[in-house]
Structure 1
Amino acid sequence: MKKKIFGLLLVIALIAIALTNFVKSKVDEDQKVDTSSTEVSAEMKNDSGLEVNQTAPDFKLKTLEGKEVKLSDYRGKKVILNFWATWCPPCKAEIPHMEKYYKNQAKDDGVEILAVNLTSSDKDEKYIRDFVKSYDMTYPVLLDKEGEQQKQYEIVTIPTTFFIDQKGKIQKKIIGPMDQDMMSKAIATLK
């Protein structure tokens, strides 16, 4: 009886390993992202349609306060462009790190954080406003009400963050949550 159970467990484990390897290879193939690291290197072209050293597509969105913001208005500054939603647990996990970086280091580094809320897949604006307040988010939150920027930047996984240099060119892309150290290291590579 023990041999049968052991054999069954062994078969299940082998199937799980094979399935994991299959899914990993499909993700690698589909996204051209190394799943052992969430960072997309400067040498890689990613499936988002956006390449490193490509000019980040410009857009115009409104903040929670109703102010109109264009990405191109930030030329001359380094930009952390973060796509997120309130329902996303990894997004929630990175917010305190982003806020700490924004308050303590961003100004010295000449960096602006623009957090693009995927409003079309989120709850209403009042909920987003309350969420932002509850997380003490002080960096600008932009509302992608129609999902246009999600489509333009071809965001599938959130959070997804683009690091844009002073010339408006994408230098790095991180898929998944970041901590303050990751942000500092990514910013240090920007020109």
Structure 2
Amino acid sequence: MTSVGMMNKGEAAPSFSLSDLNGKQIRLADFKGKKVYLKYWASWCSICLAGLEDLNTLAGQENGFQVVTIVTPKYKGEKSAKDFSEWFTKQPYHNITVLLDEDGVWAKKFGLRGYPSSYYIGSDGILVKSSPGHAFNDMITKTFKEIR
């Protein structure tokens, strides 16, 4: 994006293109003009797993932003994409979009240090805020009220 179209302060978010659990390619560009809450998490992370029900609730609501999650098969201890997909399809979280970042290629570009981590992307594609650790739904919603 050009600086003319920017409304938020910060740098452009990495323009990922990743597959979802069904093999469909999802790109950050697909959300152009929309705010995006991006959460990196791992299947072995107890804090991540404890927050999935809340995340599923958030993803099922109309909040004025998209909720997208990313896991990193074969990176930082995550299962293979096949094993993760088989495990996740047995979970009761049907509102959550999960993208697969094989070997953490995009995680490195986002500067991921640990799980879970939250990234707040404005409607102009600017990465406005990143935050390690669990984020509660009310704080996520409140943060997006301050992002254009």
Alignment of 1:31-70 (within 5 A): 53-70=10-27
Larger RCO, structure (CA 8 Å, separation 6 or more): 2
Q: Structure 2: how far apart are the matches of 1:120 and 1:150? A: 12
Structure 1: runs of 5+ lacking an equivalent: 1-51
SS of the equivalent of 2:23 reads coil
Q: Which residue of 2 aligns with 1:116?
A: 70
Counterpart residue number, 2:36: 79
- What residue number does 1:152 align with? 109
The one-letter code sitting in structure 1 at the alignment partner of 2:69 is: A
Name segments (4+ residues, structure 1) moved above 6 Å: none
Q: Which runs of 5+ in 2 are unaligned?
A: 1-8
Contact 1:120–1:144, Cα closer than 8 Å, also in 2: no
- 1:127 to 2:91 alignment: no
> Which entry has the higher C-alpha Rg, 1 or 2?
1
Query: 1-side partners of 2:92 and 2:45: how far apart?
Result: 14
CA contact (8 A) 2:10 2:127 kept: yes
In 2, Cα distance between equivalents of 1:164 and 1:66: 24
Q: 2: CA distance between counterparts of 1:102 and 1:93?
A: 16
Conserved in 2, the CA contact under 8 Å of 1:97 and 1:178?
A: no
Distance 2:23 2:29 in 1: 18
Identity %: 27
Offset, 1:126: 3.7
Cα separation, 2, equivalents of 1:91 and 1:152: 21
Does residue 141 of structure 1 match 2:95? no
**What's the TM-score, normalizing by structure 2?**
0.84
The CA distance in 1 between the partners of 2:145 and 2:132, in whole Å, is 18
Alignment partner, residue 52 of structure 2: 95
Q: Which amino acid aligns with 2:67?
A: I
Higher helix share: 1
> Does 1:184 find its partner at 2:138?
no
* Secondary structure of the structure 2 residue equivalent to 1:147: helix
Question: Is the CA contact (8 Å cut-off) linking 1:95 and 1:135 kept in structure 2?
Answer: no
CA RMSD of aligned residues (A): 1.5
- Give the whole-Å Cα distance in 2 for the aligned partners of 1:130 and 1:178: 26
1:104-129 CA distance string (max 9 Å, x none): 3xx3x321111110112311334322
